[in-house]
Structure 1
Amino acid sequence: MDMPFDPSQAGSLVVGCHLSVAKGFPAAAGVAVQVGANALQFFPRNPRGGAQRQVSEAERAQWLERREEAGLRYTIAHIPYTVNLASPKPAAYEFARRVLREDLERCRWVGADAAVTHPGSYVEGDPADGTRRIIAAIEPVLPLLEEPGAPWLLLETMSGQGSEIGGRLEELRAILEGLGWPPRVGVCLDTCHLFAAGYDWRDPAQVDRLVEDLDRAVGWERVQALHVNDSKFPCGSRRDRHEKMGQGEIGRRGFANLLRHPRLRALPMLLETPIDGELDYAAEIRWLRDLDRELAAGA
């Protein structure tokens, strides 16, 4: 299976954060350098799902050059939260299908490694109908994912709140199985969501259980990225509220267990913690890198 990121070459952490590209992709690369990131996540359009900003050939060329200079080892787009691939409402569903295709095409244009999306919410009725709608929405873009330079499409693990799909790994497996296990559709983990869904990062045995469950449910080769966020709410709460690193319920102990696990540590890590301004990510990235160095030194 073709992998955009080679974990065996990871060495130091590949860690970044979600940055705005509203002022252009090259500008976002500059901010990444300022905060000490070597990975970057972005919205391909307004997060509320508005129209895409046009990216010229000149901006694209400058971005590709600036990305190399900045040492960005992984770039990933986040499909807007307003996209609901499981929606039972025809207008919302057709909007989701259109945005998914357009944003994957944008990712290919700018050379992003992957695009991550929330699987969706069935809203009402039978959850299985929501899963079928997700499969039907993704099927038409599978040929796009086979084209040269295409990104991966990653389904995010969710907290399981309300009617959302993806709070259980079996739900992600059902989508992948329904799609016929396509080679460039995988999974993006989220520490806060998994904690809320019942995986306690503070217990090393629970971390091992998560990795084993992922291997069994979807295959580890499909796990391509990791959102690193602390949690405002307790383990198993099924409530999705991110907190700054080390200041929530997961805490230092939980993230230390994550970093001690070689498979998890090798994944590209993207921060989505609450901040007042993008430069605040510098402290969050430094906290994670400092913890990794302390563990390496035997602290």
Structure 2
Amino acid sequence: MPHFRFSEKHGDLIGAHLSTKGGLHTAFDRAGEVNASAMAIFAKNSNQWKGKELTDEDCKLFAKKRSVKPVFTHASYLINLATTNREFHKKSIAALIDELDRAERLDIRGVVLHPGAHMGAGSDVGIEKIARSLDRVRAAIPNHRVVTLLETSAGQGSCLGCSFEELGKIIKLVDDPKRVGVCFDTCHVFASGYDLRTRDAYERTIEELDRQVGIGNVGLFHLNDSKKDLGSRVDRHEHIGDGRVGLDAFRFLLNDERFRGIPKLLETPKKIEHESDRRNLATLRSLLNSPPNEQPIGAAAVGATHRI
């Protein structure tokens, strides 16, 4: 089982996905401007197969400017490890290897990846293909320490990962489960049919997560409200508290001791740079340390931790 927890010395581990306009290192300036203690970036253009070369100087500058310890990258949206198209699959493998290599060179420990879409081949076929593809990627870079975090999906089309069961199957099928974890997106989970809005509903969802995936395999949270209803299978992010998920769900999660030390990042709409992130982060922090009667039932059930 991977170990994802960060030490409390790094702060409350709440942040956002931030722009790298002007260079990867500039994201740290933006983190300071929005008061983020964790962050995610794209290490290259998210809609291109090949990105700009990552130079040694880029890596040195990134390390020099690093003011936030928990940093993640999000892999290209083009990657589909479950695709039925041979050429597309070949490109996806190469692109993921590149994403993990960039993260390794930047001393980043987790790369978020959309699991993929089976394109009509069926869930079981797609799940098997994703697992074997992850094995191929790892075989190409066996000494890299970076973990691939499979993001929960909203369930649109033939996209895989909308159920905890599917994610759990992928983790069980890979040759080295320590190299794979899960990124839990609150909007996607809600859209795929998992309720988080009441204490009982939240507990049932987390119990199912633990049963199918294992709480210890969760390495990151994306905190997003949803514009659409429970089970809509439509991926539309909304500002915290302005959508159908509601504030209570985020209060439960932020105060759940089982996820203490696991970074939690916004992917909410950005109308004006920094303004929306500041507002959403302030809202999240206002929910920390809520009264005991607002905490989830199982909050005291904390597993073994590994501090980074």
What is the TM-score normalised by the length of structure 1?
Answer: 0.91
Aligned partner of 1:62: which letter? Answer: L
Matches of 1:4 and 1:208, distance apart in 2 = 21
Task: Give aligned pairs, total.
Answer: 293
Runs (4+) off by over 6 Å: none
Matches of 2:269 and 2:83, distance apart in 1 = 28
Contact 1:48–1:80 (8 Å) recurs in 2: yes
**Could you list the runs of 5+ residues in structure 2 that have no partner in the other structure?**
295-308
Matches of 2:92 and 2:101, distance apart in 1 = 14
Aligned residue number for residue 255 of structure 1? 250
Partner of 2:178, secondary structure, is coil
Aligned residue number for residue 37 of structure 2? 38
Bigger Cα displacement from structure 2, 163-172 vs 19-28: 19-28
Aligned residue number for residue 99 of structure 1? 95
Aligned residue number for residue 3 of structure 1? 3
Aligned residue number for residue 224 of structure 1? 219
Q: How does 1:178-189 map to 2 (within 5 A)?
A: 178-189=173-184
Aligned partner of 2:5: which letter? Answer: F
**Could you list the runs of 5+ residues in structure 1 that have no partner in the other structure?**
none
Matches of 2:210 and 2:179, distance apart in 1 = 16
Q: How does 1:66-215 map to 2 (within 5 A)?
A: 66-67=65-66, 70=67, 72-143=68-139, 147=143, 150-215=145-210
What does the per-residue CA deviation read over 1:33-66, in whole Å, with 9 as the maximum and x for residues that have no partner? Answer: 1010011111122111242222322231221122
What does the per-residue CA deviation read over 1:110-149, in whole Å, with 9 as the maximum and x for residues that have no partner? Answer: 011200101000111322221122122111122466526x
Matches of 2:140 and 2:216, distance apart in 1 = 20
Matches of 1:296 and 1:62, distance apart in 2 = 43
Report whether the alignment pairs 1:24 with 2:23: yes
Matches of 1:12 and 1:233, distance apart in 2 = 32
**Counting helix residues as a fraction of each chain, which structure ranks higher?**
1
Aligned residue number for residue 60 of structure 1? 59
Matches of 2:140 and 2:184, distance apart in 1 = 23
Partner of 1:292, secondary structure, is coil
Contact 2:24–2:43 (8 Å) recurs in 1: no
Aligned partner of 1:160: which letter? Answer: G
Matches of 2:4 and 2:260, distance apart in 1 = 16
Q: How well do the aligned residues superpose, as a CA RMSD in angstroms?
A: 2.1
Change (3 A) 1:88 1:10: farther
What does the per-residue CA deviation read over 1:244-279, in whole Å, with 9 as the maximum and x for residues that have no partner? Answer: 111000111221122232223542011110112431
Percent of residue pairs identical: 33
Deviation of residue 11 (structure 1)? Answer: 8.1
| Selected match of 1:270 from 265, 271, 274 | 265
What is the TM-score normalised by the length of structure 2?
Answer: 0.88
Change (3 A) 1:298 1:144: farther
Matches of 1:143 and 1:38, distance apart in 2 = 33
Deviation of residue 73 (structure 1)? Answer: 2.7
Change (3 A) 1:9 1:268: same
Deviation of residue 167 (structure 1)? Answer: 0.8
Deviation of residue 107 (structure 1)? Answer: 0.4
